[in-house]
Structure formats: structure tokens, C-alpha cells
Structure 1
């Protein structure tokens, strides 16, 4: 199930992977424009695009964390071995 993460979280996820926008868009099988829109909160993006982006990050070993009582949403590596 896809969750709509904020543009800040999506930019943080890509920064964690150290991939360029072009490289990550290719990995996620989305256009660079769609990725830019997701990362900037620009024009509407489809659920399919969000799912592709999320799936690609998860395949790279990125884990999205939901906000808790004492911390906000974020991203981290699932395990150090994935780096």
C-alpha cells in the first residue's frame, strides 16, 4: 500500500541513496518530471507513480518511518548491509 510522503521525505530518501534525479527516475521507471513533481509538491502525481517511487526506494534498502509520539516521519536504511 502506498503512502503519500511529503516532498521533504522523498528528497531525503533520494539524498540517502546518493542517486541523481535521472538515475533514480530510471530505477523507479518514472519520468524525471514526475519525480520532480513528487519531490517539490508540484503538479498532481498519480498513485501509480507514488507506488513506483516507494517500491524503488524499498528495493534500494530505504525504509520510510512514520511519525511517532516523540519524532517525525523520516527515512533510514533498512539495514547497514544494504548500503
Structure 2
């Protein structure tokens, strides 16, 4: 009973982080913030989808979703650093 609660709390944290970065994006219109918001939202959706099937988390789609979220963050950081140069 504790594990679904903790996964829900993790999902809530991801959604809160997404809202936090989305708020900064509305103020600055910086692409980095919207990329972070999208990545955290994807991670939150992934956490919500794993709640009913905790025992099958070793499925490949879970890791592919995480890979997509981290790839969004990496690409956003690289693009931000290229804009400075």
C-alpha cells in the first residue's frame, strides 16, 4: 500500500515541477523552461501509468519514456549553450 502512495507523490512532484517551469516560461518565453516543463510532464505521466502495474516496471516502454524526457532536457541545454556562442 505504501509503494503506490510513493509513486503518486513522485508523480505529483513531477507535475509540480512542470508547472513551476511553465510559469517561468510564461514570464521569459525562454525555450529552456518549456523544454524542462515538457520533460517533467512526460515523467509525471509515466509515473501515473506505472501505478496500476508496479510489478511490470521492467518493461522497455518505461525506460524509453524516461529516455525521451532526458533527451528533451539534453537537447534544450545544448541549444541554449549554442545560442550564447
- Fold shared by both chains (TM-score > 0.5): no
Q: Please say which structure displays the higher CA radius of gyration.
A: 2
Q: Which has the higher helix share?
A: 2
TM-score (norm 2): 0.31
Q: Which structure is richer in relative contact order (CA contacts within 8 A, separation 6 or more)? A: 2
